[in-house]
Structure 1
Amino acid sequence: MEPLEGSFVGTTSSEEDDPFPSVKERRIPICIFFRNARLILKFDELGREIAQIALPAALALTADPIASLVDTAFIGRIGPVELAAVGVSIALFNQVSRIAIFPLVSVTTSFVAEEDTIRSVSSEAQESECLEACSIENAENKELIPQNESSDHLSESIQISSFKVSKFDQMPRRRHIPSASSALVIGSVLGLLQAIFLISAAKPLLNFMGVGSDSPMLTPAQQYLTLRSLGAPAVLLSLAMQGVFRGFKDTTTPLIATVAGDVTNIILDPLFIFVFHLGVSGAAIAHVISQYVISLILLWKLMQQIDLLPPSFKHLQFGRFLKNGFLLLMRVVAATFCVTLAASMAARLGPTSMAAFQVCLQVWLATSLLADGLAVAGQAILASAFAKKDYNKARETASRVLQVPDFF
């Protein structure tokens, strides 16, 4: 009797390493949703790996919308006009940012996971060769040394070999990941371009969003958008670094940095808005400072793990990023266009309607990004599995991350 499709019972190593899906899965792709469905919530090795990546990633993704929700609460105390103005500015800022952010972060995560896995496999092979060479050297020394002197010399030889191995282990562990350096350069350049674009075209863009020249929302919206745009380089750079950490399957460090930045924002908001009486400008300044705090923390941690400067310009992978990020760019534009269009329509209805839309949007964002943590986990694990040619793990990971949201 043949085992059930997708079951581990009775499978051989050749079946597990088969790079191609079964005939049934090729003909009916929806079958992947039911592959090993009984293992959805099993806390096995794969389940633990997914949870260790997905939970911190989900918390980090929801931290910023929650902080924006707190911003909304503080700004709402100033008045509905200011709240509506900030809502239009945030919608416009997010539309421009996400066009660059999501393709950059997604591509960076995959590339870094692939390169880090290949580097780890190569490093393990080199260490194994070193240990083997030391063993051969010890054997040769034992044969050449006379019997009465062999014990002393052999002990000395073993100590020397042990020193070589320990020296190998103590070599600098900073990794050379070309895609990480490329992501940081691209993120910095895109951030600067975004800041210049939004600051120079703030008024026309707000007019296009439905905030006319005679609207009471125009002045506070322009103030908020101009000041918040100064933080665009930090936003894109920090998100590029988050993509690097996700590629390392480390989502805890971005979580800590994001929480630190958001706490800074929440503390500075009432200080700038109500104590210094800066209004919406104070809220924008607090947000910009929090973004630079996040970037500095991530940069400090990243410098301890990788060489940020590539050996030469040719090692940067701009072409690879542009090629793979273009299709993601089209998807992001399509996905975010609806929200931006809705904000534009709400702004045309007046400050009250726009203020209500801003509150509802922030509440929705704070709860809708939870599932993205699974996407981060799946992306990192899949890239690593394909780099190792572990196609069975890739299939199981794809099934698991697709099945968990459906279960809940």
Structure 2
Amino acid sequence: MADKDLNPSCILFKDVRSALKLDELGVEIATIALPAAMALTADPIASLIDTAFIGQIGPVELAAVGVSIALFNQISRIAIFPLVSVTTSFVAEEDSVKGARLDFKEDDVSSQDSEDKMLIPQKGLDEKMHRLDTAKSFEIGEAEHGKKQIASAPSALIIGGILGLLQAVFLITAARPLLSFMGVKYGSEMSKPAEQYLKLRSLGAPAVLLSLAMQGVFRGLKDTKTPLYATGVLPLHMLSLSKSNIITHIDENVTYASHVTKAAAVFRYLIALILFWRLQREVELLSPSREYLQLGRFMKNGFQLLIRVIAVTFCVTLSASMAARLGSTEMAAFQVCLQVWLASSLLADGLAVAGQAILASAFARKDYGRAAATASRVLQLSLALGFCLAVMLGFGLHFGARTFTKDADVIRFIGVGIPFVAATQPINSLAFVFDGVNFGASDFAYSAYSMVIVAIFSIIALLVLSSTCGFIGIWVALTVYMSLRALAGFWRIGTATGPWEFLRS
């Protein structure tokens, strides 16, 4: 059980002196979080590389690509985020209770041959019986050829493939009206390059969703190294393409972007094939029956997270739309700041993944002491990471702005956004890790509906501040948005409600 003297609202300060300690829990978090963070940032870093080299062509092309990337990423999140989050929790739970069932069987066999069987405490026996019943409910085991049978794995791949195809068709057929909603009117200077880039980027959508669904399975199994090995070469691939083509295509504007984007799409399919080959060696992916699949469970919890991610997506997409309406210069600067903001903040997602996987296992086993310790540790580490990122970006982005563009006006607006990008890093890190903590507790309903409330206030702030304060107003509103997200995440644990009621014990 949790510590009786622990005030739920003080969970951030529980054993704070041990936050950086490499004990058993610290090593497990680091083993999961570091590869996960590197894998998660692979695609944003690839987008940053693309942004940097296209920015050398001109501010119009940079702004056009910025709108397209923002639109693609936010629509992708609508499909990706619920799928990956649910998959990680479900797989971790199933893998955990499978171990609990095997432990129970071993203990049961040994106790049958012992005259001391009646000395087993009833409470311990009840807990083992609960884990056994839970394991049976998941219908998991070992296949004859040694592969794990985890129902969530084939379910995630089926759903990911379908969603990827739907996303590609939707973005390609509706590119023009979607860009118009983003503030890029048809016939404007940004219209043609933005539409072409978006359509080409969308060709890789099925591969992206399948890859992330498989990454969700690996994360649930607490294996974040395999996805890193498969996806970590994407930025290097993009860098080599950019270096070899920027000189020859510098005068052809979107021809360069098209060439690199096509190659990147092909490379994403290669990554998906590598991940599938590796996963099928560990997990049974050819389901024997419909009953075995967990599609209904996915749909129920995925729908709740879909509500959440739509709210999140609308806030970020609206901010990009407001920036696009200010002009190509402002949008180009916003694109640079936003990509850096997201790429750096996603480092905290590595901690979120570690927290989610460990917490899902702890809750499945009803090990509440470990759940409380894990939540405290990952939240403390997220704050430390956030402050480090704030210092690094506060100084580094001032000198690195010219990497993305040589346009003096764009650089000036980037300078306006830098304080917001840097100062919000601790808040962003906390917000992302709180998400992972609550997902690990399978608290999907609260995560969804609290985000809707946060989105309502954030959208109002965006509309008001962008119209009155322009570029600065957008970043003030985004700061408000992330602060409310962090507050909503803290509220559940701090009040010891829902799955965190045990903190009152």
Q: Is the 8 A contact 1:111 1:179 kept in 2?
A: yes
Give the aligned partner of residue 148 of structure 1: none
Tell me whether 1:405 sits opposite 2:382 in the alignment: yes
Give the aligned partner of residue 215 of structure 1: 188
Task: Report how far residue 126 of structure 1 moved.
Answer: 5.6
TM-score (normalizing by structure 2) = 0.66
Give the aligned partner of residue 283 of structure 1: 260
Q: SS of the counterpart of 1:211?
A: coil
Q: Is the 8 A contact 1:74 1:269 kept in 2?
A: yes
Write out aligned runs for 1:301-316 (5 A).
301-316=278-293
Question: Aligned partners of 1:314 and 1:335: how far apart in 2?
Answer: 33
Query: 1:157-204: CA deviations, max 9, x gaps?
Result: xxxxxxxxxxxx996321111101111111111111101111110101
Q: What letter matches 1:350 in structure 2?
A: G
Task: Report how far residue 23 of structure 1 moved.
Answer: 6.0
Question: Aligned partners of 1:29 and 1:300: how far apart in 2?
Answer: 44
Q: Is the 8 A contact 1:347 1:353 kept in 2?
A: yes
Q: Which has the higher contact order (CA 8 A, sep 6+)?
A: 1
Write out aligned runs for 1:81-230 (5 A).
81-123=60-102, 172-230=145-203
Question: Aligned partners of 1:358 and 1:170: how far apart in 2?
Answer: 48
**Percentage identity across paired residues of the two chains:** 64
Tell me whether 1:77 sits opposite 2:56 in the alignment: yes
Task: Report how far residue 213 of structure 1 moved.
Answer: 1.6
Choose 74-83 or 181-190, whichever is displaced more. Answer: 74-83
Structure-2 change in CA distance of 1:43 and 1:206 (3 Å): same
Q: Is the 8 A contact 2:151 2:294 kept in 1?
A: yes
Q: Is the 8 A contact 2:165 2:206 kept in 1?
A: yes
Question: Aligned partners of 1:343 and 1:283: how far apart in 2?
Answer: 23
Structure-2 change in CA distance of 1:213 and 1:268 (3 Å): same
Give the aligned partner of residue 360 of structure 1: 337
Q: What letter matches 1:59 in structure 2?
A: M
Task: Report how far residue 349 of structure 1 moved.
Answer: 2.3
Q: What letter matches 2:88 in structure 1?
A: T
Query: 1:382-403: CA deviations, max 9, x gaps?
Result: 1111222222111111111122
Q: What letter matches 1:380 in structure 2?
A: A
Question: Aligned partners of 1:102 and 1:260: how far apart in 2?
Answer: 22
Q: SS of the counterpart of 1:279?
A: helix
Q: Structure 1, unaligned stretches of length 5 or more?
A: 1-17, 137-168
Query: 1:340-360: CA deviations, max 9, x gaps?
Result: 112112222222222221111
Question: Aligned partners of 1:293 and 1:261: how far apart in 2?
Answer: 10
Question: Aligned partners of 1:99 and 1:251: how far apart in 2?
Answer: 23
Give the aligned partner of residue 240 of structure 1: 213
Aligned mate of 1:320, from 265, 272, 297: 297
Choose 197-206 or 266-275, whichever is displaced more. Answer: 266-275
Q: Structure 2, unaligned stretches of length 5 or more?
A: 115-141, 388-505
Tell me whether 1:252 sits opposite 2:229 in the alignment: no
Aligned mate of 1:329, from 301, 306, 315: 306
Query: 1:29-65: CA deviations, max 9, x gaps?
Result: 2122222223212211111101111111112222222
Task: Report how far residue 326 of structure 1 moved.
Answer: 2.6
Tell me whether 1:389 sits opposite 2:362 in the alignment: no
Q: SS of the counterpart of 2:342?
A: helix
Q: What letter matches 1:391 in structure 2?
A: Y
Superposed CA RMSD: 2.5
Query: 1:305-347: CA deviations, max 9, x gaps?
Result: 1111111112111221121123322332222323211211222
Q: What letter matches 2:263 in structure 1?
A: A
Give the aligned partner of residue 6 of structure 1: none
Choose 123-132 or 99-108, whichever is displaced more. Answer: 123-132
Tell me whether 1:341 sits opposite 2:323 in the alignment: no
Choose 89-98 or 111-120, whichever is displaced more. Answer: 111-120
Choose 183-192 or 254-263, whichever is displaced more. Answer: 254-263
Query: 1:228-264: CA deviations, max 9, x gaps?
Result: 1111101111111111000010111111111123322
TM-score (normalizing by structure 1) = 0.80
Give the aligned partner of residue 296 of structure 1: 273
Q: Is the 8 A contact 1:269 1:286 kept in 2?
A: no
Task: Report how far residue 209 of structure 1 moved.
Answer: 0.8
